[in-house]
Amino acid sequence: MTDTCKINQVLLSLGANLGDRRTTLSDAVEALRQTGTLQNITASSFYETEPFGVKEQPAFLNIAISGYTALSPHILLLQCKSLEAKFGRQKRERWHERELDIDIIYFGNEILDTPRLTIPHPQATRRNFVLVPLAEIAPDFVDPNIGITVRELRDKCSDECKVTLKTH
């Protein structure tokens, strides 16, 4: 396997619910840019979101970003995990607090299912905290598994967790 591949558009979901959430997310986007992991980054607005799964925790702040990379999906995953660690991410049970969470939602039109990485992200189409910010920046991106746009996925999503635009 090589470390690079053709240039692909990638769509990522970022979230945090501990510490200075807005600064963490902004700094993470800047780190993705400065390290050359992603180029031509477009970021969504900030959205405050009700926690999914475990409700007894602080609200999350989420964004979606679109960018372009020549990295392979697995190398991009390693870069994202490294960045999470740099921002102090601790290992916790599923759906618990996070200093920083970065998920690869789409990697071009790739469909990948390995023990370490599944693309498109297997839960993304069922999560408002992913789809609402994603639809802001890439409403016409077509899910390669389902063949419908992110906007349509957002409109059909049955997730009842509240997602609120955070203007300050």
Catalytic-residue membership of 154 = no
One-letter amino acid at 32 equals: L
Catalytic residue among 33, 103, 126, 151: 103
Catalytic-residue membership of 103 = yes
At residue 43, the 3 state secondary structure works out as strand
Catalytic-residue membership of 94 = no
C-alpha to C-alpha distance for 53 and 60, rounded to whole angstroms: 12
Catalytic residue among 21, 89, 127, 154: 89
C-alpha to C-alpha distance for 50 and 56, rounded to whole angstroms: 10
Q: Which two tokens stand for residue 26?
A: 């902004």
Domain 4-165 classified CATH 2.70.40.10? no
Catalytic-residue membership of 89 = yes
pTM above 0.85, yes or no: yes
Catalytic residue among 21, 101, 127, 159: 101
22, containing H or E segment: helix 21-34
Within 10 angstroms of residue 78's Cβ, the number of other Cβ atoms is: 16
Q: What's the count of helices (H) and strands (E) in the chain, helices before strands?
A: 4, 8
**Do residues 87 and 127 lie in contact, with contact meaning Cβ atoms separated by under 8 Å?**
no
Q: What is the pLDDT along the chain (168 residues), one digit of tens a residue?
A: 444 458 999 999 999 999 999 999 999 999 999 999 999 999 999 999 988 777 778 999 999 999 999 999 999 999 999 999 999 877 767 666 788 999 999 999 999 999 999 999 999 999 999 999 999 999 999 999 999 999 999 999 999 889 999 987
Catalytic residue among 98, 127, 154, 159: 98
